[in-house]
Structure 1
Amino acid sequence: MKNVDDDADALKRDWNYEVRSMMLFSENAPQELKSYLTEQRTAGFEYVAYCSNTAVLGKDDLAFFKTGFDVAEYCHENTTDRDFYASMSVDSFELELNRWLQIKDDAGSLVLLTEAKMAQADWFYQKATDYERFDAGDKEVAEIKYLLGIVKDTAGIIEAKRLWNEHVPTNTVRMPEFLNIKNVVMTEKELSLFEKQLMKIGLKEAFTPELIGKLKSGAPSIEHPFKKSYDGDEASATLHIKKSETSDQYFFNKYDLSVRKDGQAAEMKQTFHLNNFKRKPDDEHAAKFYTTFTFKEAFNYLSGRPVWKTFNNANDQHYTAWTVANLKNIQQNGSPEQKQYNQNYPFDLEKVLGGYSIRELAHDGYKSRLMESLQRGNLQLATFIGDNGKEQKLFISPNIPLNALRVYDANKQPVPTETLVEKGYIGKEFAEKLKENVEQIRQRNGSETRQQQGPAQENRREEKSVAKEEKEGETAGKAHKQRQTNKQVQKQEGDTKKPRQKHKIQ
């Protein structure tokens, strides 16, 4: 009865034979070589001759013949004590080429082939006294180095270096320069510097073993996917990373982010560039952001909440502004229109917060952290205190056009202004002021006056009314500043003429 181990040994011998006899072809144009074989076959050539000492065969290494006699004569006349010529049919030769084409782009198969060749290679051939052993070993090692170069490009340099370290005895064959990790792989210090790049924008979780492997591969550019969830809302990103042309350091240049709100089918998308204060007005990316958004700020922005950032204008001047994504106006590139309310716009977050009964405002430290969180665009949880002393946790976010806060309950549903008044979270005078602001915005937008409806409907109506106000936000800010200047001039000159007002922001 046949032993299972015998079958295994037989398969191993067959595999070793396949590996040893497998021909390798020039990587730069194997498809061109295949077309060349077809041309020769069409021209009536049935046999091909080649030098078996050559580690890698290309188009210039082949000679074609129409008869078996001619190819045999060619091999006999050209074979010397150093070069041995072999021949086969064009059909058989094409089968060998097809075997290589199937393996060369498959990283797993390529690693197996390379490892099998390395396991049976004669690494001590350089010490051989007979030429045949030296010549066979020299070709064998040349094939292995060729394969390792392709493994480096497909499976990564770490895998190629592992194969070399595991199979090549010390003090035998010199390691090829392209496997010198010091020259092509980031050092631990460089990896640490790149990790800090990710940490600066809140992406420490993206520094995974998978990404580290990509960085160590030496690839000129990397696109790395990353996903994160915020209270049920999904943020999916692709990190774009490029290697320096003058060093082994990688730089994180930009990331594509898409945000899908819980329960919504539509996504909001935007490309966020990093550290691009140096962009010029005529740059093809001039319309992109002139600042760096952290990952959470970018998520908040695509969620429709305002973010307070420092920007750079076309004249290389820095300015601060609230920036808001107009989710109702999607541009041709698929990204929402960007709205900005700069420091001249009459919205003061600290003063606005003062109109609400929030416990955190009584402590300077808590107040500062609350404001910073809101400036980053977070939907921040705050403790509201009612007239009866009872407390309630509610979410808040700036409502810049209305010069107020948006207030949400635990389920992220809007809390009507009337409810805030009833519970003593805002005063009646402040509520009346909000209603006046809504009415002014409605009139400014040319809206017709409607009878007051329910509080919940008022909030929905408010969102529609402020759409145009957001579009004119920066213009309104400039008008406000101009009015202040006009008043000063009027006071100095005693001019009783009233300055012209385009907007009435209170």
Structure 2
Amino acid sequence: MKIALEDYNTVMEGLAELHTEGYAYIAYDPAFPVMDVRELNAFDNSYDAVEYCHEMRTDVDFFEYESIWSLYRAMEKGLEDSHLLDMQDGMVDLSILLNDYYRIESETIRHKNNMDMNQKNLEYLTDQVKYTGFGEGFADVLKEKIATGDKEFKIDHSAKFGNDTVDATLNFSKSKQSDMYFFNSYNASLLKEGSAEKLEQTFYINRGSNITFKEAYNLMEGRAVHKELQNKAEEKYNSWVQLDFKHSDENGNFRLKKFSENYGYDMEAALSKHPIKELQRDDFKDSLMDSLKKGNVQLVTFQVDGKETKHYVEANPQFKTVNVYDSDMQRLGSRESRAQNQSQGESQDNKKANKTEVKDVEVVGDGATSEKAKKTRGQKV
């Protein structure tokens, strides 16, 4: 469709009126310039417009149709940018203008979709990093990394757990099919206070069952963590996991020992064998068990003969029990724990206290434990 430049505004006004009246398409003979679109045949649907063009076609005449609103929007773009107007001998070709308009709109939509996708990707990665235990404050650095368009990028992070330092390198990669980025894994490196040797382990990001940063520290300390896992058939199941420091895979990663529900570990029953005050209230008990399932060492109160003593406990699913430590983190042997329980029972039954003499109490201190851990955990088989 060609129009004279002086008829530009008239044609625009006519298109606006037709659109207001409910028309959607106009049909025209491209061989003749258009001065007023209101003189053309207008239709409220494309089917009628196509049928009209087909019926009017002859060996000499050839009719075409266009969207009224698209033409109007294209002419608006032409007013905004005169470079879009293809002019010859004072005539403007609206068909060329319309094609340029479609191209610009397509690029704009594509750019907007990419911006939306990048924003959603950024929000997803930020949440994923946050809920994997690395905290907030990663949005800006993630945005900068994504903007580079690199196939891979890394982010370093460090944290203190007590007196121990854990460094982490978060690994991200770009999809081969799109511009989306994924949080694939993180490499954790544990340096214990007073030690020059680091323990390293890579933890992979899985849907809904990520090992959090704190859980990674607990695992590297040798403790067990309770997680919801997924098998190859994408079936979910609950299991305790623990690093096996005696065996590593082909990548040098320590293998995971798993103790599923079928293994028969009942942590609540194991806790109930000890005189723990916090078990007497459901809210305290639930909080205690949740903490132990994350692999934490939890401070509790032992009540024996009316006296309260602070101890630490941790889950031990492999031996279906809980480990007990004193306030200095010296492990109490099973004989001593049984003596405490027996003493509590005798007190409740009004029997004479301290009736049973306990000998050869096993106490494994931090020094022995740590030295063994250094020798075992520092070497990957």
TM-score bracket, shorter-length normalisation: 0.5 to 0.7
Q: Which amino acid aligns with 2:322?
A: L
What's the counterpart of residue 270 of structure 1? 201
Maintained 8 Å contact 1:185/1:216: no
What's the counterpart of residue 400 of structure 1? 317
* Match of residue 226, structure 1, among 148, 154, 157: 157
Maintained 8 Å contact 1:309/1:322: yes
| Alignment CA distance shift 1:462-1:271 (3 Å) | closer
Deviations 1:77-131 (A, max 9, x none): xxxxxxxxxxxxxxxxxxxxxxxxxxxxxxxxxxxxxxxxxxxxxxxxxxxxxxx
Shift of 1:400: 2.5
| Alignment CA distance shift 1:334-1:261 (3 Å) | farther
- Structure 1 position 257 matched with structure 2 position 174: no
Q: How many residues are treated as equivalent by the alignment? A: 248
Of structures 1 and 2, the one with the larger relative CO (CA 8 A, separation 6+) is: 2
SS at match of 2:312: strand
| Alignment CA distance shift 1:383-1:190 (3 Å) | same
Distance 2:364 2:221 in 1: 22
- Structure 1 position 292 matched with structure 2 position 210: yes
Deviations 1:39-74 (A, max 9, x none): xxxxxxxxxxxxxxxxxxxxxxxxxxxxxxxxxxxx
Shift of 1:239: 0.7
How do 1:98-497 and structure 2 match up within 5 A? Answer: 183=114, 188-205=119-136, 207=138, 209-245=140-176, 248-275=179-206, 291-331=209-249, 333-388=251-306, 390-420=307-337, 424=340, 426-427=341-342, 453-456=360-363
SS at match of 2:363: helix
SS at match of 2:274: coil
Deviations 1:209-241 (A, max 9, x none): 444422333333211111111001121111111
Can you give the 5+ residue segments of structure 1 that lack an aligned partner in the other structure?
1-176, 278-290, 431-451, 464-506
Q: Which amino acid aligns with 2:331?
A: P
Maintained 8 Å contact 2:313/2:323: yes
Distance 1:258 1:416 in 2: 31
| Alignment CA distance shift 1:314-1:247 (3 Å) | closer
Q: Which amino acid aligns with 2:216?
A: A
Maintained 8 Å contact 1:186/1:215: no
| Alignment CA distance shift 1:383-1:375 (3 Å) | same
What's the counterpart of residue 86 of structure 1? none
Cα RMSD of the aligned pairs, angstroms, is: 3.5
| Alignment CA distance shift 1:339-1:460 (3 Å) | farther
Distance 1:378 1:421 in 2: 23
Distance 2:290 2:277 in 1: 16
Maintained 8 Å contact 2:298/2:312: yes
| Alignment CA distance shift 1:416-1:202 (3 Å) | same
Q: Which amino acid aligns with 1:230?
A: F
| Alignment CA distance shift 1:221-1:299 (3 Å) | same
Percent of aligned pairs with the same amino acid: 31
Maintained 8 Å contact 2:225/2:242: yes
Distance 1:194 1:339 in 2: 29
Shift of 1:429: 10
Deviations 1:364-421 (A, max 9, x none): 1111111111111111222222222x32332211122333211123333213345445
Maintained 8 Å contact 2:305/2:344: no
Distance 2:240 2:147 in 1: 40
The TM-score, its normalising length taken from structure 1, stands at 0.43
Can you give the 5+ residue segments of structure 2 that lack an aligned partner in the other structure?
1-107, 346-358, 371-381
Q: Which amino acid aligns with 1:269?
A: E
Maintained 8 Å contact 2:330/2:365: no
What's the counterpart of residue 31 of structure 1? none
Deviations 1:331-375 (A, max 9, x none): 553322321212122320010111111121111111111111111
| Alignment CA distance shift 1:190-1:332 (3 Å) | closer
Distance 2:116 2:146 in 1: 8
SS at match of 1:377: coil
How do 1:59-74 and structure 2 match up within 5 A? Answer: none
Deviations 1:141-160 (A, max 9, x none): xxxxxxxxxxxxxxxxxxxx
Distance 1:460 1:317 in 2: 42
Maintained 8 Å contact 1:416/1:459: no
What's the counterpart of residue 43 of structure 2? none
Distance 2:366 2:144 in 1: 51
| Alignment CA distance shift 1:213-1:366 (3 Å) | same
The TM-score, its normalising length taken from structure 2, stands at 0.56
Shift of 1:461: 11
| Alignment CA distance shift 1:205-1:392 (3 Å) | farther
| Alignment CA distance shift 1:427-1:344 (3 Å) | farther
SS at match of 1:374: helix
SS at match of 2:319: coil
Distance 1:462 1:427 in 2: 28
